[in-house]
Every structure is written in structure tokens, then in C-alpha cells.
Amino acid sequence: MRKKWTFIFTFFVLLSNTALVLAQTEPEEIKVDGDKFQDLFYESIFQKSIENYDKSIVALEQCLKLKPNEPTVYFELGKNYLCSKDYKSAYSSFEHATQIDPNNKWFWVGMYDVCYESKDFNQAINVVNKIIPFDAEYKEDLVSLYMATKQFDKALALINELNEKVGKTERREMYKMQILSEGKFQNSEIDNLKAKIEQNPKEESNYIALIFLYSNNNEENKAEEVAKKLEKEIPESVWAQVSLFKNYLDKNDGANAVKSMNMVLASSKIDTKIKHRILNEFLLFANAYPQYVPDLDNAIGYFKDDKTVNVAKEIGKFYHNKREWEKAIKYYGLSEKNSSEVDLETSLLWLQANTELKQFEPVAKKAMSMIDTYPAEPQFYYYAGLANNQLQLFKKAKDILEMGLDYVVENKNLEINFNIQLGEAYSGLGDTSKKELYFNKANQLLKEKK
């Protein structure tokens, strides 16, 4: 909640007389006659400045004996009581000042400060409504007060009014999202957005908000109608394509879905998370309709500079999990091509996929090159050893595996696999005793796992 702290006083002594003059802005200028009153008032100001609130209050009470209807004295009393956290006396003092002079904004602000400090937000609403005729900016406070007291219908109406008159703010939009998360308020907002679209059909944001509301309510047909209207009124709007894309997919209209997708992915106006969601939806579509895979490949190009997600790699993992090894390998290759750095995970996934396809020559070559880059990563030694065993290069496999086994730490599965491959290497070399040694080690580790 925004809070205004505006109690700033200035005062000075005119050379020609002894009158006390307060700043015009807070509160209104007053002139005080009498040396005694002036001295007491100065004393109260001084004592308050050094946080002697009790002494300041005593001086002000003496001022009231001399001038019982001086609103500024009550105002100063209110400020001292507020600093002392005597909220009841503070509110009563500020209220007394408003009764004498109801046209002074700052007296009402004093009452609001008490309500705010004491968390009496319902009473604060009543007071702020008194301040707004003097200062419309306090409507922002009123929105927050409505939210604090859960008067969401009034908050929503005021938010829409302020959005229309002074423009949107991040805080109000956050409040609005909170309100609309409760379904009962969505119908009134839908009506509000429809009316705004009729009044100003060229304002894109109203269409977008309405599309999201319908989508959140699973009213896809209505969302599509709004998207088409947006496309008609504002042909260059890429937001229309976000909604239309989903509808094209639902209708298996791949050609139009591709057009919408490409417009969205090429736009700088659309958040990256939305782009990722659209690509994921198209990935599932292309998996069911392979004729659109080339369009999927083209779409990946829009994410070349994306530092948050390696899109090609994620698509490769999608096919990897489906055990579609050739497709997985293709996208791992695209991932490495688009990246300036070697990615350990992508390389290991590529090696696994190629091993599943028994493509041992490229596995051996890739694994050996990765050992140069990651000399302490045992999995690359394992794949190099496995591939060389399959290529019947047993001596080479043995040397690589023995070297890599030293790097295996707290990974029993990998240790088992190393021992199996070492057994295979020694079997190929005709060393029966070493073969049995490593196969027995593998069996012992398997028993320990159980």
C-alpha cells in the first residue's frame, strides 16, 4: 500500500511583528497574535523535534487555553499523539481539526495516517474518500485499501477507472490478476472488455485480455472469435496469431498453424515462455504428422540466440525418451551446431543414441575427442572402450577402460559396466584369467546393489 508522509512544516518570524506563520501547503497559513501563544507554540515545535512528545503536548494544551478553536494546534497535537502511538487521542485530535476546518486536506490526511498505522483499513476507506476531492492521487491508496479489506468488486471497478484515465501500473495489474483468479469476478471483467473493444476497436490490449480470460475458462471458441476480430481490426497484431495457432492445431490445420507459429516466433513482442510453449505444442503435432517435421526444424532457428533453453537439445531428448534414436541424434547434432560451447549432457546422450543403433565407429571417434575435452569424465572412457570392443580393437579398448576406471567415483552402475567391458576386452585378447577377474567383479557389484 502506498503511503503518503507529507507532514512538513515551515515557520518563521516576521521582522515587523511576532506573528507565527505556517507554510501555506500544510496546513493553511495562520497568523497568531500574542507573545505567549507564540512562545508556547514554538516550544511545542522544538520539543517535538527532539522527540519530547509529552512536553510538546503540554505546551499545545496551554495554547488551546489561549485559542481553543485553532485547528492547527489540534493538528499538531494529533501528530504528537501519533508519534507516541496513542492512536485514539491522535485520531480525536485530527478529527477535531477537521470539524473546525473541513476544507484542509492535511487534517484529513492526519486521520488517514492514524488509520493506516493502527491497521483500521475500513475506517481508512471512509477517510480517504474525504481526501480524494482535494487530491485524486489518493485513489491509488483506495485501491489498496479495497484489496486489504477484500472488497474486490469495488477494487476492480476503481482499477478499471484508473486504467482508463491515467494508464495502467504494475501494482494495479497485479491486483487485477489476483481478483480475476476468482471466477465470480470474470463475467464483469468480460463485459467491461467487450465494451472497451466496442468503444475503441484499435486498442490491442483489450482483445488480448479478453482472449486470456476466455482461454482460462476453457471457452476456446469464444477466444478464437476474439482473435479473429483482433486480426481483422489490427492485421499486424501478432497476439492474434498466438490464439489462432492453438485453434489451427486443434483443427489439424497444419499449414495455417505453421504460418501463425512463424509469425509468433519471429516477433520481439512475445515472451520467450510463450514461444517455448508454442514450439512444444507444434513438436507434439509434428510427431503425429511427420510431414510437418521440416517446419519444426525451421522453427528451431528462431531460438539460436536463446540462452535460457537449448531448444534443439530438448527436442532430441523428447525423441530420446520415445526411443526414436535417429531423430534424437539429428536434433543433438543441431544443438551442437547451434552452440559455441561443448555440452557434456548432449554429448553423452548422442553417444547413447548411437550406441543403441550400433553405430560404433562414430561412437569411438566422438568419445575419444570428448576425452580430450573432459579428461576426468569416466563415461567418455566407457563409451570409447565399449565401441572399440565392438570394433574388435581389444587392446585399445583395454587401455582406455583401465585409464577411465580410475575416474569412477560412487557410481556403481558405471563401475559394473566398466568391469563388463574390461572382461570383454580381455576375452578378445585371450586372457581368460583377467576376463574371469573382471566378470566376477561385475557380478559381485551386482549382488551388492541388490
Cell of 415: 563401475
Distances (CA, A) of 263 to 238, 245, 297, 434: 7, 10, 15, 63
**DSSP per-residue string spanning 67-102:** -TT-HHHHHHHHHHHHHTT-HHHHHHHHHHHHHH-T
Which residue intervals of the chain bear CATH 1.25.40.10? 1-118, 365-450
C-beta separation of 21 from 31 below 8 A: yes
Q: Tell me, what's the pLDDT at 139?
A: 96
Q: Which of 174, 112, 167 is nearest to 145 (CA)?
A: 112
What are the helix (H) ranges across 167-253?
Answer: 170-180, 186-199, 204-216, 220-233, 239-250
The DSSP call for residue 134 is T
Find residue 13's DSSP bridge partners: 20
Class of domain 1-118: mainly alpha
Q: What is the CA radius of gyration of the chain?
A: 38
Distance CA 41, CA 63 (A): 7
Nearest CA among 253, 301, 242 for reference residue 277: 242
**How many angstroms separate the CA atoms of 379 and 105, rounded?**
75
Q: Which three cell numbers stand for residue 186?
A: 470474470
pLDDT of residue 339: 78
Query: Other C-beta atoms within 10 Å of 341: how many?
Result: 6
Pair 331, 353: CB distance under 8 Å:
no
pLDDT score for 20: 31
- Polymer length of the chain: 450
365-450 belongs to which homologous superfamily? Tetratricopeptide repeat domain (1.25.40.10)
Contact 313, 276 (CB under 8 A): no
Report whether the peptide linkage leading into residue 27 is cis, meaning its omega lies within 30 degrees of zero. yes
pTM metric for this prediction:
0.61
Which cell numbers in the block locate residue 37? Answer: 501563544
Cβ within 8 Å of residue 193, ≥6 positions away: 206, 209, 210, 213
Per-residue pLDDT of the chain (450 residues; tens, 9 = 90+): 545 333 322 232 222 222 333 333 454 444 444 589 999 999 999 999 999 999 999 999 999 999 999 999 999 999 999 999 999 999 999 999 999 999 999 999 999 999 999 999 999 999 999 999 999 999 999 999 999 999 998 999 999 899 889 988 999 989 988 888 777 788 888 888 899 899 899 988 888 888 888 877 778 888 888 888 998 899 888 988 988 998 899 999 999 999 999 999 999 888 888 899 999 999 999 999 999 999 999 999 899 888 788 999 999 999 999 999 999 999 999 998 877 777 899 999 999 999 999 999 999 999 999 999 999 999 999 999 999 999 999 999 999 999 999 999 989 999 999 999 999 999 999 999 999 999 999 999 998 876
